[in-house]
A and B are shown apart, each in its own frame.
Chain A
Amino acid sequence: MHIRFSPLLATGARTMIPTLIAFSLYLLVVGHDAPGGGFAGGLVGSAALLLVYLAYGDRGVRRVLPTSPEVITGIGLGIAFLAGALGLLFDDVFLSALELKTTIPVIGDLKVTSVLVFDTGVYLVVLGLIATGILRLGGEERS
Chain B
Amino acid sequence: MTVVIAITAGVLFATGTYLLLQKLLSRIIVGLGLIAHAANLVLLGSGGAPGRPPIVEAGQTGPFSDPLEQALVLTAIVITFGVTAFLLALAYRSWQEHGTDEVEDDVEDRRIARLGFRRREES
Contacts and interface: CB of A to CB of B under 8 A. Distances in A.
Interface string B77-106: 010001001001100100000000000000
Contacts of B85: 129, 133
A106 interface: no
Interface residues of A, number: 5
Contacts of B92: 137
Interface in B37-60: none
A137 B78 contact: no
A137 B82 CA distance: 14
Contacts of A129: 82, 85
B95 to A, nearest CB: 11
Nearest to B82: A129
Nearest to A34: B55
Contacts of B82: 129
A108 B19 CA distance: 57
A137 B88 CA distance: 9
Interface string B99-123: 0000000000000000000000000
A60 to B, nearest CB: 21
A39 B74 CA distance: 10
A39 B78 contact: yes
A137 B89 CA distance: 7
Nearest to B78: A39
B78 A136 contact: no
A133 B78 contact: no
A136 B88 CA distance: 11
Interface in A100-140: 129, 133, 136-137
Interface of B: 78, 82, 85, 88-89, 92
Interface of A: 39, 129, 133, 136-137
Report, nearest first, the 9 A-B pairs whose CB atoms are least far apart.
Answer: A133-B85, A137-B92, A137-B89, A39-B78, A136-B89, A137-B88, A129-B82, A133-B89, A129-B85
9 contacts: A39-B78, A129-B82, A129-B85, A133-B85, A133-B89, A136-B89, A137-B88, A137-B89, A137-B92
Given A39-B78, A129-B85, A137-B89, 6 more contacts: A129-B82, A133-B85, A133-B89, A136-B89, A137-B88, A137-B92
